[in-house]
Structure 1
């Protein structure tokens, strides 16, 4: 199992357990993480799974595909260099302990 810590905009936190190979979005939805709406179910047609992943974790991620970068333009909260759509992040054992920051709103 992989532990992921979600940090809300208000500073509150939720730690979840996830399976390797699962998308970060699916893990968050399954664990009822408040702040991950995932309206499109992971099909990369919305921006309601916007998260921020900083160092050192960001270096473990594959680069965003052009469609992800384009879809981030529709995020309701400001996009920063650490912004990603968590539907596009596949979890690996090396991500155990990863911190994921949530925006103030997905809508």
Structure 2
């Protein structure tokens, strides 16, 4: 049985939103941010979630998920601005039951 998970997302204005995200739709964090309109239209997910633009960069604020990046994500973040050790691309973080309780902050615009 699938369930919704809770994710805390701090937007670019510093406001934290506690949202519910479905685990049965094969979504990623970038899509959830867009779904809840937590970033200005046209400023996140510009490449459509292909790990090609870093517009969905976020900072992982807790240890719910791994900070390990796949090779495409690592390559993109090596060229991005505002990168920190806890940076991940939202498009590369799947919304699964394992992500329940995740806390992230959306990075500044590129």
Q: Is the 8 A contact 1:47 1:106 kept in 2?
A: no
Q: Does 1:102 align with 2:109?
A: no
Aligned residues: 103
What is the 5 A alignment of 1:40-51? Answer: 40-51=47-58
Alignment-derived partner of residue 63 in structure 2: 56
CA distance in 1, matches of 2:93, 2:66: 7
User: Which residue of 15, 22, 25 maps to 2:27?
Assistant: 22
Q: Which has the higher helix share?
A: 1
> Could you say what the CA RMSD is over the residues aligned between the two structures, in angstroms?
1.9
CA distance in 1, matches of 2:66, 2:22: 16
CA distance in 2, matches of 1:3, 1:39: 25
Q: Does 1:71 align with 2:76?
A: yes
TM-score (norm 2): 0.80
CA distance in 2, matches of 1:102, 1:44: 16
* SS of alignment partner, residue 74 of structure 1: coil
Q: Does 1:11 align with 2:14?
A: yes
The one-character-per-residue Cα deviations of 1:11-65 (angstroms, maximum 9, x if unpaired) are 31122221114211111111111266110110111110000103322xx337311
5+ residue gaps in structure 1?
Answer: none
Q: Does 1:88 align with 2:92?
A: yes
Please report how far the alpha carbon of residue 10 of structure 1 lies from its aligned counterpart in structure 2 after TM superposition. Answer: 4.4
CA distance in 1, matches of 2:30, 2:12: 18
Q: Does 1:37 align with 2:40?
A: no
